[in-house]
Structure 1
Amino acid sequence: MTSRTRGPRSARPPFRPPAFTGPLHDARTATAVGRWLGAAFAVCFVTGLVSHYLQHPPAWLADDLPTRPVWGYRLSQGLHVATGLAAIVLLLAKLWTVYPRLFAWPPVRSLRHALERLSVAVLVAAAVFQVLTGLLNIVEWYPWPFSFVPVHFAVAWVAVGSILLHVAVKAPEISAHWRRGSAGTLALPAEDAADRRSLLLGVGAAVGVVTVTTVGQALTPLKALDLLAPRHPDHGPQGLPVNRTAAAAGVSASRLREWRLDVTGPRPYTLTLDTLRAMPRTGVRLPIACVEGWSVEAGWGGVRIRDLVELAGGRPGAAALRVTSLEVAGAYRVMEMGAEYVDDPLTLLALTLDGRPLSLDHGFPARIIAPDRPGVLQTKWVHRLEVL
């Protein structure tokens, strides 16, 4: 029998991944998609920082958070979710363009190559983790044992660091393929150049479809096209969505029969609902914007928080507030509000929504509504205010 000559075993990969041999798995295409993906991740990172520090401000910042523009958080979080969804499409396209290189053999050829491979491994893992957990957070499904907010925040830094490392390692190649006709770029045959344009147009169209069919949950003029988002701005009790219902929070009508509002401070006092309703009322139009990306503007009526704080002896412009909900449990059952929010004339202990008493799911008998503030901090079923 004759034997076939075999190459060295070390030169063979341990397994054969599916082969993609088309001409578009090249550095030029990867760079073109990577520019879009990098921009999406940059917007996600910046808006994610805004959201995180509004929800969990450090002590030195808590009293100085901005309350204007009133739609600031609505815009920021709407951008965060919209670009995060777009990043899913872009990440899949980017992985498709570089797929053959992910399984190149041997895996390490030099120190520079090892750094490149390490940056790619960390980048891919962090990017996939971020878009996957972000997507599941939008639909409020948490099939993992860890807390979403701190882990998502921490991995965001890992993702950004790995992007910067990857760009630094690949800078010469990225520079060579950054613009059409760049020096060092090999010209493609006409049919391959057309294929690249078609691919990029297809990716852009997919991003556009995903954006247009989901952004209506925050950009209400497009709400008629809100086909894929988990929330619709008009669907819910009193025409507004809710994330956490009264049943989920363990709040029932029977628990509210003897409801009282306890306000503590230098001059503590207690109010019944009838007494609270008899106090001077204020009406405002403010959006409620949630971390999942949906937001709706509505008319709210109630008593100014700063008036309630002053009655308890709090100093105008200098008092912070701790708000406690009747929720049985939850990460935001107790919320603290800095002095900037407390003193703002638009911050209310709301009793009505669009002229009607709050429904149980919207926080009856009283909830917080404040400008430029995440929805999770617009505490529902308020029963205690502590002037700090």
Structure 2
Amino acid sequence: MTEAPELSLEMRRDGLDPVEELARARDGEGVVQVVTPFGQPAYLVLRHEDVREVLSDPTRFSNAMTPFAAAGEMSQEEQDKLRAGFLLAFDPPEHTRLRRMLTPEFTIRRMRRLEPRIVEIVEAALDDLERAGKPADLVSHFALPVPSLVICELLGVPYADRAEFQERSVRLLNISLPVEEQTAALRENRAYTAGLVARAQADPGEDMLGMLVREHGDDLSTDELNGIAALLLLAGHETTSNMLGLGTLALLRHPDQLAVIREDPTRAEPAIEELLRWLSIVHSPSPRTTTTDVEIAGHVIPAGSLVLLSLPAANRDGGHIENPDTLDITRGAPGHIAFGHGVHHCLGAPLARMEMRIAFPALLRRFPNLTLADEQADYRVFSTVYGLNSLRVTW
């Protein structure tokens, strides 16, 4: 049996909090050297101001120059095919070209058209949770199905395939698996999305893939469509699902703040921003590679170095926000970077916010006496997107 890798500093958590060692490194050195789970040496940037600086500057901190962690398992041809269309693997102007085609689909106005359907999806998931009987797993009956069905409808993915793509996503994000298994999951995922793209090209529907084929079919290669579909399918359900699970746990452990949202659903919007900041479920956005020698927090990082960014440490930086370790849903967490910053700011942020704005109040309205059935939470310790495997609740 393969031993699980040691967690590198940026992935270490103490339940809902980043480990104290992260805070000490942020408040002390500001930049520390680490080794990634794949054995790559890297510089970890921790302060809010410095993380924003890196995210704002694709010229000195390149996404495109960063190799796949599993590059040794693949030919250059396969790497190029997998990179095509995958927005996180590009810098401007190529990134700008790809993102421009997708941005209209994620405007707040366009998202509002989805709102009635998201309300239906949330209510159906709550019905399922209630039918399951108490105690029940909030993750499998609510937190995971809601964003999964939303992204299925958005991309034109058969909902019958959800168990398959959810299981594959867990493998893709699990750094405790051998590189060979992660690479296999990556290849399986691309084979699956290739089928979705082929169907959209043969008969473009009203979903997002159909729109891309109809409106940009001459501008996007099949490999690029495949890469876009793969990224949206993975990011579109994993992040929001884990926010719904961890966010519910955080509120249940802060019952006074939970009561505020239950009694006044309009308070959900600032609460969601604070939960995003406080939880920071993405440990680190895509690694960057320095294109020149750079100085961050008084440290010189040589050209060609791998750079990681700690979002949990940055979002709990006392230099940015007062009482950063306190969850305070009334403040709205201005300036948090849970969705990233700069050209790679999360494209789906309006959709994620809408899903949470609908889901949290609906959950608390349906189950006003919601409580934890088990104080021991089952965290996804080795996942690059932090979350819960399950959350047993009763009401």
Higher helix share: 2
Measured against the shorter chain, the TM-score band is under 0.3
* Highest RCO, 1 vs 2 (Cα 8 Å, sep ≥ 6): 2
Quick check: which has more Rg, 1 or 2? 1
What is the TM-score when the length of structure 1 is the normalising length? 0.24
